[in-house]
């Protein structure tokens, strides 16, 4: 992937991460949320966060102090 594709992918992942955060909050606030569904959403959110960190690491150059 080139840099522009990585930036687009990063933006999409950040949007999905925010959407999952909102879904988790709504499910928790409703009080009738399915615990299995909640765990799956949280697991997906963590996986997306890991992908975001990997892409950001690839985009930012290593700086040797």
Confidence (pLDDT) at 5: 95
The residue among 11, 37, 15, 10 whose CA lies nearest residue 24 is: 37
**DSSP label at residue 62:** P
CA triple 19-24-30, angle to 5 deg: 125
pLDDT for 65 equals 59
> Could you report the per-residue pLDDT of 8-56, keeping only the tens digit for each?
999 999 999 999 999 999 999 988 778 999 999 999 999 999 999 999 9
Domain boundaries, the chain: 1-31
State pTM to two decimals.
0.84
């Amino acid at each position: 992937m080139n840099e522009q594709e990585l930036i687009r992918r990063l933006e999409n992942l950040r949007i999905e991460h925010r959407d999952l955060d909102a879904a988790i909050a709504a499910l928790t606030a409703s009080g009738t949320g399915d615990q299995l569904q909640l765990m799956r959403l949280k697991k997906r959110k963590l996986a997306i966060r890991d992908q975001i960190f990997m892409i950001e690491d690839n985009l930012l150059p290593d700086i040797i102090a």
